[in-house]
Chains A and B, each alone.
Chain A
Amino acid sequence: MSGDGEFITCAFIPLTDCAILVAAHELGFARQEGVTLALRRETSWSNVRDKLALGLVDAAHMLSPMPIAMSLGLSAMAADISAPILLSVNGNVFGVSRALAQRLREETGAVWGSDAAAVGAALRQVSRPLGRRLRIGSPWRFSMHTLLTRYWLGRCGFDIAGDIEFVVVPPPYMAEVLGAGEIDVFCVGEPWGSSAVARGVADLLLAGPSVWRAAPEKALGVSARLRDDRPEALAALIRALYRAAGWCAEPAHRSALAEILAQDHYVAAPSELIERALSGRFITGAGGDVRTVGGAIEFFGGAATFPWRSQAAWIASQLAWDEPAIEPARAMSVFRPDLYRAALAPLAADLPAASAKIEGSLAQSTEAASTAGVVTLGPDTFFDGSVFDPDAGAASMGATKNLTP
């Protein structure tokens, strides 16, 4: 390759989980693969979607349901988008306003919990007397934030249609909107949850992994043009991101990574907040209590970058709540483990042999067949013990059941 090699533009949103994109550029992983990765910071998911759909960028940091929503024509700007690699697993946190936290403390004795069923029941208890729908801040309609919240609360006694309403709020503004009393609860990617606590307007409630232990959070969305017209460039980018993910996952690199991400042209948030988020440590309220959560955010461990078709199927099953005509097979074809495998073949990386799994069936780290032997997959349980078989579809999860009487 000559000159700058392959020039690839990629949009991103200021969040801790843009880490592997930033690391790929800043630490030279992209350059080593002959790729000049030009990162374009955006202020909204609408902009990311539109610029990718219209070909103004080649690729994008995306909420994992977005490529599916765009490809299936569910979103305003339909476009053929593929997801050949995940950029992060988990990384979200739930929080409440100080007022609601106070009520939780008074009525149930605690705010933060690690048992999603118990926290959900407590939330149900304090939200009933409000006499109105609980308003939940989420960054985007087609997001794991919205899907996980609906999944969680639906199984904790909430009537999704009548008891809750989602308010779209960009992550950096979650604190402001919560403080202004326009929402009661939020689900947001770090560091914006911790930022809200630091600003004195929120208490944290629950870590995202407590609902689903291995939720695909961000995916690399690529345009059809990059995928079809420049396959070598895309493969090189996937290799660069895979390596960058390995680097980001090392505990010894967290401090340096946090410093890099903290800069104004990336996340523009204090590096201490970002480092805590990378380490799974949460200051949950004004009291300064620190909670540590395993698997709070994953970049590489447990095959985190692998775009499982079953994850796409789960997303489709949850989107079906207000898009009943969604076809699971079409959704599954948006995630491209085949492109992932082909790209990583030169690295002789050890990858899972299967491209789909029964989501929720792994209670702990488990060895699974891999291309070279065995690979370790992390736990991926749902808080209510359900499992999701992509072949059986939504039916295998059973009806949304209430866990509280």
Chain B
Amino acid sequence: MSTRMPTRIAVIDPNRERALLIVDGLREAGDYDIHLIGDAFSAAKALKDIDPDIVLVDLQSPTRDSLESVTRASGPLERPVAMFVDRSDEAMLRDAIDAGVSAYVVDGFAKERIKPVLEAAIARFHAFDRLRAELEATKQALAERKLLDRAKGVIMQAKSVSEEEAYAILRKAAMDQNRKIVEIARSVVTAAELLR
């Protein structure tokens, strides 16, 4: 059981994009038999069928607590799935938790085989975070540009000026009031809507 090849990994992550990123990362890291579980609530049942060597779980998942209770008996009549978090490399575990992932391994699993899996998962979790941050920044920039365009439109119409002149008015107001130009734009748009 502890030397089964290829290593069987269950990935529990309700976020589909990230889950696929992790699967990619694991495939690059080695030859693994990977199972994806999207719904963490039914993970307990799924895990019994899959019988994995390692379970990777996203820490954002609120149902991690339910998973925890499956890995340890909650009473004398319960049969646990008998998996535990490996603490032999505490620095790596800390990195993993910091990155947002935790790994449960089956009893007797060779420690050196955990490292590449966890490292691949950590790398992909970080990558996902960066992608998400970039996406947020891009969305934000786009929203701000739209706001600015609308504000310029309001000023152009109200004062019969060109787009460049409208922009200059906004920029001057921002400098005079020591505020960001997007905040001025937001005020202009809000005021225009109220005064319509």
Give A residues with C-beta under 8 Å from B. 43-47, 50-51, 54-56, 76-77, 139-141, 160-162, 165-170, 172-173, 177, 322
Given the interface contacts A54-B94, A141-B74, does A173 sit within 8 Å of B85 by beta carbon?
Answer: no
Complex Cα spacing A51 to B99, Å: 12
Contact A50 B102 (CB under 8 A): yes
A-B contact pairs, 25 of them (CB 8 A): A43-B59, A43-B60, A44-B59, A46-B65, A46-B68, A46-B102, A47-B59, A50-B97, A51-B97, A54-B90, A54-B93, A55-B94, A56-B94, A76-B71, A76-B84, A76-B85, A141-B69, A141-B72, A161-B77, A165-B75, A165-B77, A167-B66, A168-B68, A169-B66, A170-B66
Q: Is B31 an interface residue (CB 8 A)?
A: no
Contact B65 A168 (CB under 8 A): yes
Q: Is B62 an interface residue (CB 8 A)?
A: yes
Chain A residues contacting B66 (CB-CB under 8 Å) are: 167-170
Contact B94 A45 (CB under 8 A): no
Q: Of B61, B63, B76, B90, which is in contact with the most chain A CB atoms at under 10 Å from its CB? A: B63
Chain B residues contacting A172 (CB-CB under 8 Å) are: 62
Q: Is B165 an interface residue (CB 8 A)?
A: no
Complex Cα spacing A50 to B72, Å: 16
Chain A residues contacting B76 (CB-CB under 8 Å) are: 161, 322
Smallest CB-CB separation from A43: which chain B residue? B62
Chain A residues contacting B93 (CB-CB under 8 Å) are: 54
Chain A residues contacting B64 (CB-CB under 8 Å) are: 43-44, 46-47
Contact A76 B41 (CB under 8 A): no
Contact B75 A166 (CB under 8 A): yes
Chain B residues contacting A170 (CB-CB under 8 Å) are: 62-63, 65-66
Chain A residues contacting B68 (CB-CB under 8 Å) are: 46, 76, 168
Complex Cα spacing A151 to B12, Å: 34
Q: Is B136 an interface residue (CB 8 A)?
A: no
Chain B residues contacting A56 (CB-CB under 8 Å) are: 94, 97-98
Contact A173 B74 (CB under 8 A): no
Contact A322 B90 (CB under 8 A): no
Known contacts A54-B94, A76-B85; 20 further A-B pairs (Cβ under 8 A): A43-B60, A44-B59, A46-B102, A47-B64, A50-B85, A50-B102, A51-B97, A54-B90, A54-B93, A54-B97, A56-B97, A56-B98, A76-B71, A139-B65, A165-B75, A165-B77, A165-B78, A166-B75, A168-B74, A172-B62
| B42-81 residues at the A interface, CB under 8 angstroms | 59-69, 71-72, 74-78
Complex Cα spacing A160 to B69, Å: 18
Complex Cα spacing A177 to B65, Å: 14
A196–chain B nearest beta-carbon distance, Å = 16
Smallest CB-CB separation from B41: which chain A residue? A177
Q: Mark B156-175, 1 if CB is under 8 A from A, else 0.
A: 00000000000000000000
Complex Cα spacing A169 to B85, Å: 20
Complex Cα spacing A139 to B69, Å: 10
Complex Cα spacing A322 to B102, Å: 27
8 Å CB contact of A44 from B41, B61, B72, B77: B61
Closest 6 CB pairs of A and B: A168-B69, A43-B62, A44-B64, A170-B62, A44-B65, A54-B94
B49–chain A nearest beta-carbon distance, Å = 18
Contact A173 B62 (CB under 8 A): yes
Complex Cα spacing A54 to B97, Å: 9
B106–chain A nearest beta-carbon distance, Å = 14
Complex Cα spacing A162 to B78, Å: 11
Complex Cα spacing A185 to B121, Å: 37
Chain B residues contacting A44 (CB-CB under 8 Å) are: 59, 61-65
| B1-45 residues at the A interface, CB under 8 angstroms | 41
